[in-house]
A and B are shown apart, each in its own frame.
Chain A
């Protein structure tokens, strides 16, 4: 065993710090899921995506021929952790070109599709922004029950149906869409396909759905006789469910590095805040309750780090992750929740002040996280679904649902 980082990985962290100091305003605190809400935030995020691409960081772990740098998963994890720590936006190319649509195309797409779509993502171009159409009004955790259907008609697919909770649909150029293609007698899992859909196609309507803090992150997306070329099928028809089960490994894992960086940033900020804040004549950093709470968070955050390195190393040596990304997703959610709640306890009533208010402490970091962590914990599989997966695939327990 050897848990050291290579010299290039250590210096990458430094480079990212330098990049952030130069490019990111000091009052910039936006979570990686809400950069698509306000137009000015979005424009700024896109400009950073472009710069990250020019640095060779955006998709550094992709092969060179698709715009990457052939970097290891470990190095990419170092990047994702540090980028989130320094609050760098624009890492995902929608939801998410870098996280799973790119990796899935490399797994299941044909060469034409890879050549067509991967460089757009890799270059940080607005045409490389994706959204993911999985959830439907009556198909959340029970994904296989989706109803949106694609029918072959005169050399095209014709898509009808509705998706919901589609993050970034209002910004995306492309949709990674799960549809029913099999006949109605087929097993649900054997009748799903993945299509690449141009979001500018006639028949697509995107309606905003605001979240509880009033931000526009997700949407309803309606498909009315949307025509999609047959060549936009990814992988095999009716094998989409099986493809997705594998590519969800990437989706779930892709949140981990960012969750780690965000949590570590909050921890360090709270430590600094505790050292600067006086109550009853001494700093609250001397209060044993606060010391222990923050120390407990440090332990959990360090475990997340080890989990992330473990799965990255496994992918680097060619071991296919099975349950690990579900474990990491659940752990990341737990860590984000714990540090956000610890933060509210330490800030007290000031944590309810609007994020951009002058009265907000720590730049609104804590309230931001308090609002965002429940969403993170639902996206890409709820805690309960992740635990079902771990129970079945790692512990070999019977299906529980």
Chain B
């Protein structure tokens, strides 16, 4: 049977061969490292060097790579591909809810298990696992279509780079925290000699510039910058997406109206970022990596950056298809996929379900004051909730969970901090409300373009 969209083609297999070859070479280096650093494990009552297990794995990768590079003449018969059962399981399990839960779960796991994750072997296993997952997933046509788009390649790279640097910072932080706990000076304080900028820094900068230039030229040759059809204001492409770095904001548009998702929340993000140095009263952790001394600051920032920014970009780029519907990573982007989008407002729920009446509507021809009164009456519950959220919660937080903060920060700093946190929390809160109660708007006043 001829497949129109083949999962595997000769060129894909060949490309994957190079990826496995790279992985093989990386693991050869790792075997060498392991031979010198890792000890032995007891296997079947015998001492076996850990390096031998890695050597076995590397040899396997070498063989897989050879198979890919030489055996690409009949793609249909090629066996190494992502199993269909796994693909359909992932597709059926994935959705905005599970995706967001997974990213928050990962975030919590990284923080709780940091001392375990920063071990080099654990980091290496995670890197290998993610690369092999990526390689196997590339054998799926739909996955390849999205991930392989030239504009999306930097996002894949960014994921690995972000993960690596998060790992690296935690490695440094854990090391520093251990030294502090033992009363020893920080690693960086031991390495405190003054050196001359010429040649050490100047030459590292030069090498860095050469490497970056080489990377850019290679990237420019391999991947062509995208250019679609000439612009037409009548034909909206489906889906039409903002530039990739704004896709986190575009994802917020699912839950909030443009004035919130596009103007208020981004402004709050920027104001919040600028406010950080002025509301962080903690004098510790200035100029070195640490986690234990800045638990709250680092956890909050990581939560904002990883699940709420990077993960949202991934969701918006890879998993949102036509009509901004959610699609699993191996799912075909079907334009006609139907998704029920009938959501209700709090006011509708209150008047129809609780009071069992109609919505209050101002009588026709009434004056402006009456109309305003009726609108406020209609939306009173949502308005009360919103005002309470922004006005009652901060003092409540000041006397309960954030009592120590409040005492140390003073009134103004605390109000700024608590409001920033409330705005940051408003996104996940609205997401959960949407998923669990199909809530559309907390306050719905389309007459004034005022929907929350």
Do these two chains really belong together in a complex?
Answer: no
Which residues of B are interface residues toward A (Cβ below 8 A)?
Answer: none
